């Protein structure tokens, strides 16, 4: 390394990283000098720490040599040097060997070191102790926990907390000392009060409370006693400790919802706490619980909570404002009418200089808005969007995207806003792409917006500079343009891209152009498209030429499948396609001479695909509320505990496994059943229901059922889990008896039992029926039959002389209902489609159970398997009436099904009036008479 380079990082202001080998050699030489220069050692250790913090690392041998060289500095009695030594030990302990050798020196400082060094020494113990040596520090740590110096006590509590997963037996003996630390007020000694001592008053209470919770988290009564002792306003003097106690309360009320009433007095007191952070945490606890259990939160308490949030939004502290807005935002996802009173405070935040706070206020206002004030609100947002960075713009656009699904009738205002932002607002490709995706969603789910949106996008692509955005718009034009009233309008704009753009855009434009040749609204357009494609086939780029040539070949073919390749009418199930392709490649035995059979892959129509996408979008919007509810219970750990969770994990990066769980299961069922010889003659699987639990999850035998519908058959699949230990089950089967055997239209064909079900094992039993009509509504009484065999603990096999004991186990009934024969489907204009359907049936229900309107809606959506439209799947909590609109298609015949269900809640229960219209009279009667 040259002298010039060396002097570069000698400069305090240099941003260049020091050379790793130079630092290593300097440390090895300087730390072994005699006498030691404390200033020079501190400088070298700071450079070493800077190197390690930037991601650099050392081989284990070199790291170990560095570790022991640094440990020699314990001989120097300079407190400032000791502090950086402990920092280096913590960093190097993870990549060094034999770190236990430094334990005695660290313990010596814990016992006899100064008040400045002692907390650093205590924290370093976490990195050098293991399960076998942790007990040796027990006495020292206990003494430190009860120390009068809060810095020492806090360090000991944090170390005990971090050692808990390493040596649980040892740390569990700290319970009494930790509780004593909660109740005792600690201060820094007069001689130690300096700028190096923590200024956070009584922070020991926070750390002690976190440790006690971890030690007693499984003991509900102990936690209740702890809350009772600490809830006195004079016990917890630290605001973070009071927040921690509220998180413990939050954990308990989610474990046992009946405890919520016992804490209402505590909630009322801490909502008015002098610390805004405590008030905010209390409000967050109440609102999170209210989302999951709205009946258990009294209106008075919730109103008080909302008033506190409004007060916090007027605080001078931006942190309190932002926290309050986030809580209101979560509540607005499920009950916007409850927090609509916060709108004046939210509107006042729009002019804040803090753009993050203003952005959150906008997204919350969009959730609490109604159809009457959307225009005014979007007008204010337009001015805001042009002034902020791309990150905040994208957040606002995503909120607008959600709003378009909530209020489809306001599409004109929303489209106008999006087009204005797209054309007039500066931004990178990611921002432009988010706006285009929002417009694509509106076009897909609000068909009447199609022509205005497409014309505006045609103007936009004339000046667009981003390839990915242009390709997305051209795909949309090719997909939706041919079905408009004047398709030739879009051909000119697409052909301009062929003339003016690069090869990537030209290739996308060729595919879009070819789709216009199949338009039905203007049959003469085909000749023009063919002429244009002939010109393009002489393009200089081979990809463009190939696409044009293939398109001409397909358009000139007489076969119908050629037209389907140009403009497909169906969408393949990608999960099933991936599974089949994987099997095809892995089991190939003839060098792929046997072609891949695509007929086995499930296909969806465009309406079915839109229904699936709409469900995913609706679930995605409200999923974060559930995540917040569960995540809040995991947030009780003190701030000293670090997690490996990435900060960007909360941003949406695409569909996750949970989001496509039902699609994956249906693909799995289809593959499993088609591979079983007994079911091959049944033909193609038409529909599979969601999983229905037939036992409690804590039962000895956990049974979950799935109903499979074929054209002429019904197959009941029972997934059985054996939770018994050392007991196997042989010949496991389910006996299904019809509730009304005399009028049954099902004939049982056979049962496929489970030969042996091992302990903790899960397997499936099948019962097959033949049905005499297309739709059969029937209930089944189910009994589990099996033979128990005790297992030899040594061999895990049944004893030879054990013949087993035949037994049976009653499980819940299973019902075939109308929803098992229906698939969700999307329609753009529900009212017009409903009026056009010929067959109508009306039924009235009086539900005397104590159910809310939302619970009734959830049951109706589940029982019918239809797609809720016009955002009617959510009932306002402040209303006693609601109208639910559902749409679907028959899984067997593809006939349309539309339902309008009016409901009124009174003191006597919930009254329903269901009006069903379909293209099949029999299905119409079956659905409307079997809703509940």
Residue 622 is predicted with a pLDDT of 55
Name the residue range of residue 191's domain: 99-212
Residue 16 is predicted with a pLDDT of 66
Are 109 and 76 found together in one domain? no
| Residue range 758-817, pLDDT digits in tens | 888 889 999 999 887 777 888 888 899 988 888 877 777 777 777 778 888 888 889 888
Rounded Cα distance between 843 and 838, Å, is 17
Question: Is residue 716, in this structure, part of any structural domain at all?
Answer: yes
Question: Is residue 628, in this structure, part of any structural domain at all?
Answer: no
Are 668 and 784 found together in one domain? yes
Predicted structure pTM score: 0.73
Q: Would you tell me the crossing angle of helices 503-516 and 542-556 to the nearest 10 degrees?
A: 10
Cβ neighbours, 10 Å, residue 112: 10
Rounded Cα distance between 305 and 280, Å, is 9
Are 416 and 495 found together in one domain? no
pLDDT at 632 over 70: no
Average pLDDT over residues 35-43: 88
Among 277-291, 554-568, 574-588, 899-913, the minimum mean pLDDT is found in 554-568
Average pLDDT over residues 64-82: 85
Residue 279 is predicted with a pLDDT of 92
Among 274-283, 484-493, 647-656, the minimum mean pLDDT is found in 647-656
Are 810 and 827 found together in one domain? no
Are 537 and 671 found together in one domain? no
Rounded Cα distance between 509 and 470, Å, is 9
In the chain, the number of structural domains is 6
pLDDT band at 335 (very low <50, low <70, confident <90, very high): confident
Average pLDDT over residues 436-443: 90
Q: Which of 568, 584, 619 is the last residue of a domain?
A: 568
Token look-up 């059922």 returns 705
pLDDT band at 199 (very low <50, low <70, confident <90, very high): low
Are 805 and 829 found together in one domain? no
Q: How far is CA 444 from CA 8, 461, 706, 886, in A?
A: 59, 20, 32, 18
Pair of tokens at residue 754:
């489970």
Average pLDDT over residues 177-205: 65
Question: Is residue 69, in this structure, part of any structural domain at all?
Answer: yes
* Residue of 203, 266, 192, 201 whose CA lies nearest to 233: 266
Residues 6+ away with beta carbon under 8 Å from 575? 660, 663, 664, 667
Contact predicate 547/507, CB 8 Å: yes
Q: How far is CA 263 from the centre of its chain?
A: 30
Average pLDDT over residues 731-736: 90
Pair of tokens at residue 568:
């497909």
Rounded Cα distance between 229 and 235, Å, is 8
Q: Which of 162, 191, 212 is the last residue of a domain?
A: 212
pLDDT at 3 over 50: no
| Tally of CA atoms within 13 A in the half-sphere of 603 that contains its CB | 9
Token look-up 């010039």 returns 4
Are 730 and 874 found together in one domain? no
Rounded Cα distance between 173 and 158, Å, is 15
Beta bridge partners of 747: 770
Are 769 and 825 found together in one domain? no
Question: Is residue 754, in this structure, part of any structural domain at all?
Answer: yes
Residue 761 is predicted with a pLDDT of 87
Question: Is residue 420, in this structure, part of any structural domain at all?
Answer: yes
Q: Which of 212, 231, 246 is the last residue of a domain?
A: 212
Long-range CB contacts for residues 52-58, cutoff 8 Å, separation at least 24: 52/91, 52/92, 53/91, 54/17, 56/17, 56/20, 57/95, 58/20, 58/24, 58/95
Burial call 287-297: b when 16+ CB within 10 Å, e when fewer:
bbbbbbeeeeb
Contact predicate 244/636, CB 8 Å: yes
Q: How far is CA 380 from CA 374, 385, 756, 778, 842, in A?
A: 10, 9, 67, 56, 46
Long-range CB contacts for residues 429-435, cutoff 8 Å, separation at least 24: 429/466, 429/468, 429/469, 430/390, 430/394, 431/390, 431/393, 431/394, 431/397, 432/464, 432/466, 432/469, 433/466, 433/468, 433/469, 433/472, 434/393, 434/394, 434/397, 434/398, 434/401, 435/397
Are 552 and 440 found together in one domain? no
Question: Is residue 109, in this structure, part of any structural domain at all?
Answer: yes
Average pLDDT over residues 278-299: 89
Query: SS3 sequence, 91-149?
Result: HHCCCCCCHHHHHHHHHHHHHHCCCCCHHHHHHHHHHHCCCCCHHHHHHHHHHHHCCCC
| Residue range 556-586, pLDDT digits in tens | 877 777 777 777 778 888 877 887 888 888 8
Q: What percent of the chain has pLDDT over 70?
A: 91
Contact predicate 870/882, CB 8 Å: no
With H, G, I as helix, E, B as strand and everything else as coil, classify residue 539. Answer: coil
pLDDT band at 311 (very low <50, low <70, confident <90, very high): very high
pLDDT band at 379 (very low <50, low <70, confident <90, very high): confident
Residues 6+ away with beta carbon under 8 Å from 542? none
Report strand pairing: 687-688 vs 701-709. antiparallel
**Helix, strand, coil in percent for the chain, rounding step 5:** 55, 15, 30
CATH number of 107's domain? 1.25.10.10
Are 474 and 491 found together in one domain? yes
Q: Would you tell me the crossing angle of helices 276-292 and 264-271 to the nearest 10 degrees?
A: 140
Token look-up 């474990």 returns 255
Question: Is residue 200, in this structure, part of any structural domain at all?
Answer: yes
Question: Is residue 234, in this structure, part of any structural domain at all?
Answer: no
Consecutive H or E run containing 692: strand 692-693
CATH number of 923's domain? 3.30.310.10
Are 90 and 190 found together in one domain? no
Are 416 and 497 found together in one domain? no
């Amino acid at each position: 390394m040259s002298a010039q380079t060396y002097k570069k990082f000698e400069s305090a202001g240099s941003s260049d990283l020091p050379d790793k080998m130079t630092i290593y050699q300097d440390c090895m030489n300087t730390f072994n000098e005699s006498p030691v220069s404390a200033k020079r050692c501190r400088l070298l250790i700071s450079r070493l720490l800077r190197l390690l913090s930037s991601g650099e690392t050392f081989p284990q041998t070199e790291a170990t040599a560095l570790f022991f060289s640094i440990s020699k500095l314990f001989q120097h009695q300079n407190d400032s040097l000791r502090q950086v030594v402990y920092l280096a030990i913590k960093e190097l302990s993870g990549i060094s060997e034999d770190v236990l050798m430094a334990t005695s020196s660290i313990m010596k400082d814990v016992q006899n070191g100064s008040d400045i060094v002692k907390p650093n020494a205590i924290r370093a113990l976490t990195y050098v102790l293991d399960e076998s040596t942790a007990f040796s520090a027990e006495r020292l740590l206990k003494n430190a926990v009860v120390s009068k110096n809060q810095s020492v006590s806090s360090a000991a509590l944090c170390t005990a907390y971090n050692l808990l997963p390493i040596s649980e037996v040892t740390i569990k003996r700290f319970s009494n000392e930790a509780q004593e630390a909660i109740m005792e007020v600690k201060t820094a000694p007069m001689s130690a009060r300096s700028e190096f001592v923590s200024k956070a008053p009584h922070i020991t209470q926070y750390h002690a409370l976190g440790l006690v919770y971890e030690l007693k988290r499984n003991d509900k009564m102990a936690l209740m006693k702890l809350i009772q002792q600490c809830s006195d306003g004079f016990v917890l003097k630290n605001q973070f400790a009071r927040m921690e106690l509220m998180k413990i309360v939050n954990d308990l009320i989610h474990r046992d919802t009946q405890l919520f009433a016992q804490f209402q007095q505590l909630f009322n007191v801490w909502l008015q706490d002098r610390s805004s952070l405590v008030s905010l945490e209390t409000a967050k606890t109440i609102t999170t619980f209210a989302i999951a259990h709205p009946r258990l939160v009294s209106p008075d308490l919730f109103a008080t909570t909302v008033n506190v949030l409004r007060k916090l939004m007027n605080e001078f502290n931006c942190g309190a404002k932002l926290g309050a807005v986030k809580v209101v935002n979560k509540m607005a996802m499920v009950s916007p009418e409850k927090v609509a009173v916060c709108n004046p405070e939210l509107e006042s935040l729009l002019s804040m200089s803090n753009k993050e706070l203003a952005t959150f206020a906008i997204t919350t206002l969009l959730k609490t808005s109604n159809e009457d004030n959307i225009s005014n609100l979007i007008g204010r947002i337009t001015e805001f969007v042009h002034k902020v960075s791309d990150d905040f713009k994208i957040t606002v656009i995503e909120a607008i995207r959600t709003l378009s699904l909530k209020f489809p009738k306001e599409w004109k205002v929303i489209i106008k806003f999006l087009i204005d932002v797209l054309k007039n607002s500066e931004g990178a490709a990611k921002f432009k792409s988010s706006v285009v995706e929002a417009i694509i969603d509106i076009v897909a789910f609000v068909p009447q917006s199609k022509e205005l949106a497409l014309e505006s996008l045609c103007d936009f692509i004339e000046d667009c500079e981003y390839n990915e955005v242009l390709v997305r718009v051209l795909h949309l034009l090719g997909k939706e343009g041919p079905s408009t009233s004047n398709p030739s309008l879009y051909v000119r704009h697409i052909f301009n891209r062929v003339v003016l753009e690069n090869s990537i855009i030209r290739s996308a434009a060729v595919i879009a152009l070819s789709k216009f040749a199949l338009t039905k609204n203007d049959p003469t357009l085909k000749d023009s498209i063919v002429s244009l494609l002939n010109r393009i086939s002489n393009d200089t780029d081979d990809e463009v030429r190939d696409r044009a040539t293939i398109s001409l070949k397909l358009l000139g073919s007489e076969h119908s499948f050629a037209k389907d390749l140009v403009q497909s009418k169906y969408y393949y199930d990608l999960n099933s396609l991936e599974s089949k392709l994987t099997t095809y490649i892995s089991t190939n035995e003839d060098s792929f001479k046997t072609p891949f059979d695509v007929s086995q892959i499930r296909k969806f129509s465009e309406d079915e695909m839109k229904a699936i996408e709409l469900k995913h979008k609706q679930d995605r919007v409200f999923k974060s509320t559930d995540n917040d509810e569960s995540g809040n219970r995991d947030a009780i750990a003190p701030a000293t505990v670090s997690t490996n969770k990435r900060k960007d994990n909360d941003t949406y990066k695409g569909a996750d496994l949970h989001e496509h769980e039902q699609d994956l299961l249906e693909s799995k069922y289809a593959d499993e059943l088609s591979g079983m010889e007994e079911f091959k003659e049944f033909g193609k699987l038409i529909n599979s229901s969601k999983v229905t639990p037939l036992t409690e999850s804590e039962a000895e035998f956990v049974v979950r059922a799935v109903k499979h519908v074929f054209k002429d058959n019904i197959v009941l699949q029972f997934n059985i889990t054996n939770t018994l230990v050392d007991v196997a089950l042989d010949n496991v089967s389910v006996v299904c008896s019809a509730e009304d055997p005399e009028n049954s239209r099902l004939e049982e064909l056979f049962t496929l039992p489970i030969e042996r079900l091992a302990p903790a094992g899960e397997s499936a039993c099948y019962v097959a029926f033949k049905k005499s009509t297309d739709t059969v509504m029937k209930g089944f009484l189910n009994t589990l039959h099996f033979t128990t065999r005790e297992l030899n603990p040594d061999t895990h096999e049944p004893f030879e002389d054990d013949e087993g004991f035949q037994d049976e186990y009653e499980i819940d009934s299973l019902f075939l209902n109308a929803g098992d024969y229906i698939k969700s489907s999307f329609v753009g204009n529900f009212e017009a489609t409903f009026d056009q359907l010929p067959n109508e049936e009306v039924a009235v229900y009086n539900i005397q159970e104590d159910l809310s309107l939302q619970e009734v809606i959830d049951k109706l959506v589940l029982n019918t398997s239809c797609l809720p439209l016009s955002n009617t799947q959510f009932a306002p909590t402040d209303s006693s009436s609601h109208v639910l609109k559902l749409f679907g298609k028959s899984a067997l015949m593809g006939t349309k099904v539309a339902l309008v269900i009016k409901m009124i809640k009174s003191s006597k229960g919930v009254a329903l009036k269901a009006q069903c219209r379909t293209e099949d009279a029999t299905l119409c009667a079956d659905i409307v008479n079997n809703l509940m």
